[in-house]
């Protein structure tokens, strides 16, 4: 343990804190262990916000958290919590108005979302976790989570190099055998953590037409707010689409993200993501480790779908978090949120396309995001993920915020207030307006956000 670089130790301490911190009331009360923040080299500090967690990787080499795929407590640690199981008190909710066929697809997809992969089913050789739910489970199956993944790269003269040939920019923290474990290469001079985002209501976000998001680009804005759409390639059709999923809006479709996640988080190749990750880019090791033919995610003859397709069904029909109780103060907070200008990026609602499937068409999506990329200045994570530049981040949707206890892309903020104060770049002027609010108004904004 002592040789772990700090960013890995952070992941570990978060994991061990997860079980205890999971009960909802405790979230607000239990402060995170102090060691989860700081530690990484600070590049600079915005006086109003928490320390920035990016900078050179400590040159200590690295021993990832779990030597081998199945340490003693692995299964226990990754078991689906009883309250999250189907029929449990937080069991996954479906969108209303689905057809019987869609319901069956949702149930079928759920099974794959919680299924633990093993080396025999294609897990690894390098991976981050064994199932989708292992990370996505805050507030129920498909939620956000405290687990983070690590991105790294090298910046020289302001140019970002993802170090693809060394396995970048995403680190896989685990492997099916110790000899395949990845390290943050010494060549990297930047690392960033990314915390797990929620999937509640993801199908509605997917069903928003590109043109609706593009309208947000042309809406007039003030106070230095800009915003541009992340134009990305749909891995299936090859078409250019408006990206909307992930911290950098790196995918336009849930199926695209599912294939990416199966490959890069779980180590399972599929039709559109057919190339296995070589451990730190080492093809010789890959050849030795990879005993299963690609694509590993094959069609299940019973339903004529791959796992990537099935988990996509689950995510697509997963209901958004219903709005919490709205107090008089949170109503005031909603007004202040708008007056200050937060809604310029955190756009309260968009409407889905009328041509979307049953249950998804013509719906109001109360997501509180414009789904655009914004230059967030010091808050940017320093990772270039084309088309998103180093400082650009997608406006984080704020629905369901009350089910979470870590905020911002790296989970650095333990309170919503800290998350707001850390806004920078295009959001700087509006952040300062928030900061200058009388305490009761600021509280009202927080109460409003806590009702989402």
Chain contacts with ligand HEC (rule: CB under 6 A): 128-129, 132, 134-136, 147, 149, 194-197, 199, 202, 225, 245-247, 254, 257-258, 261-262, 265-266, 311, 315, 337, 340-342, 344-346, 374, 376, 379, 393-396, 398, 407-409, 416, 419-420, 423, 426-427, 430-431, 434, 445, 449
* Ramachandran class of 281: left when φ > 0, alpha when ψ lies in -120 to 50, beta otherwise: left
Q: How far is Cα 310 from Cα 150, in angstroms, rounded to an integer?
A: 27
Which C-beta is closer to ligand HEC: that of 24 or that of 287? 24
Which C-beta is closer to ligand HEC: that of 161 or that of 370? 370
Which C-beta is closer to ligand HEC: that of 57 or that of 193? 193
Shortest Cβ 22–ligand HEC spacing (Å): 16
Q: Residue 259: in which H helix or E strand, if any?
A: helix 254-261
Which C-beta is closer to ligand HEC: that of 286 or that of 416? 416
Which C-beta is closer to ligand HEC: that of 57 or that of 403? 403
Shortest Cβ 89–ligand HEC spacing (Å): 23
DSSP-assigned letter for residue 22: G
Shortest Cβ 341–ligand HEC spacing (Å): 6
Give the tokens for residue 105: 């697809």
Shortest Cβ 150–ligand HEC spacing (Å): 9
CA distances from 13 to 32, 348, 404 (A): 9, 35, 17
Distance of CA 30 to the CA centre of its chain: 23
Shortest Cβ 107–ligand HEC spacing (Å): 16
373 touches 228 (CB < 8 A):
yes
Which C-beta is closer to ligand HEC: that of 94 or that of 288? 94
DSSP-assigned letter for residue 378: G
- Burial class for 340, CB neighbours closer than 10 Å (0-12, 13-18, 19+): buried
Which C-beta is closer to ligand HEC: that of 98 or that of 192? 192
Shortest Cβ 288–ligand HEC spacing (Å): 24
- Burial class for 196, CB neighbours closer than 10 Å (0-12, 13-18, 19+): buried
**Pairing of β 159-161 and β 174-175:** unpaired
DSSP-assigned letter for residue 300: B
The helices-and-strands tally (H runs, E runs) of the chain is 13, 12
Which C-beta is closer to ligand HEC: that of 265 or that of 290? 265
**Residue labelled with tokens 């400082």:** 391
Shortest Cβ 178–ligand HEC spacing (Å): 19
Shortest Cβ 279–ligand HEC spacing (Å): 17
String of DSSP letters for 389-442: -TTEEEPPP-TTGGG-S-BSTTS-BSSHHHHHHT--GGGHHHHHHHHTS-HHHH
């Amino acid at each position: 343990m002592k040789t772990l670089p700090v960013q890995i130790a952070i992941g570990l301490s978060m994991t061990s804190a997860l079980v205890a911190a999971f009960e909802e009331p405790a979230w607000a009360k239990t402060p995170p262990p102090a060691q989860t923040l700081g530690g990484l080299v600070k590049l600079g500090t915005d006086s109003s916000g928490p320390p920035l967690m990016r900078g050179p990787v400590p040159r200590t080499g690295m021993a990832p958290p779990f030597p081998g795929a199945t340490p003693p407590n692995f299964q226990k640690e990754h078991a689906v919590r009883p309250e999250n199981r189907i029929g449990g008190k937080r069991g996954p909710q479906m969108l209303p108005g689905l057809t019987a066929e869609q319901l069956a697809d949702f149930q079928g997809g759920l099974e794959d979302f919680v299924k633990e992969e093993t080396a025999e089913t294609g897990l690894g050789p390098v991976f981050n976790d064994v199932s989708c739910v292992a990370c996505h489970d805050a507030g129920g199956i498909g939620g956000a989570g405290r687990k983070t993944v690590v991105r790294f790269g090298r910046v020289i003269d302001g140019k970002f190099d993802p170090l693809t040939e060394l396995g970048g920019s995403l680190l896989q923290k685990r492997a099916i055998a110790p000899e395949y474990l990845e390290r943050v290469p010494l060549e990297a001079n930047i690392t960033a953590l990314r915390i797990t985002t929620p999937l509640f209501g993801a199908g509605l976000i997917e069903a928003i037409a590109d043109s609706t998001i593009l309208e947000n680009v042309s809406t007039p804005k003030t106070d230095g707010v800009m915003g541009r759409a992340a134009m990305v390639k749909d891995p299936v059709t090859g078409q250019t689409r408006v990206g909307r999923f992930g911290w950098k809006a790196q995918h336009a479709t849930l199926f695209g993200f599912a294939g990416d996640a199966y490959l890069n988080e779980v180590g399972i190749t599929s039709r559109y993501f057919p190339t296995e990750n070589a451990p730190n880019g080492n093809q010789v090791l890959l050849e030795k480790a990879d005993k299963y033919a690609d694509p590993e995610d094959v069609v299940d003859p019973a339903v004529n779908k791959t796992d990537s397709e099935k988990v996509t069904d689950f995510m697509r029909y997963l209901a958004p978090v219903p709005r919490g109780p709205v107090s008089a103060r949170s109503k005031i907070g909603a007004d202040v949120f708008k007056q200050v200008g937060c809604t310029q990026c955190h756009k309260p609602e968009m409407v889905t396309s009328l041509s979307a499937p049953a249950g998804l068409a013509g719906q109001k999506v109360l997501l509180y995001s414009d789904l655009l990329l914004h230059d967030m200045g010091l808050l940017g994570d320093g990772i270039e993920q084309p088309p998103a530049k180093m400082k650009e981040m997608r406006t984080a949707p704020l629905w369901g915020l009350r089910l979470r206890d870590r905020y911002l892309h790296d989970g650095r903020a333990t309170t919503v207030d800290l998350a707001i104060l850390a806004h920078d770049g295009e959001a700087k002027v509006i952040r300062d307006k928030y900061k200058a609010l009388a305490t009761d108004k600021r509280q009202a904004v927080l109460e409003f956000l806590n009702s989402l």
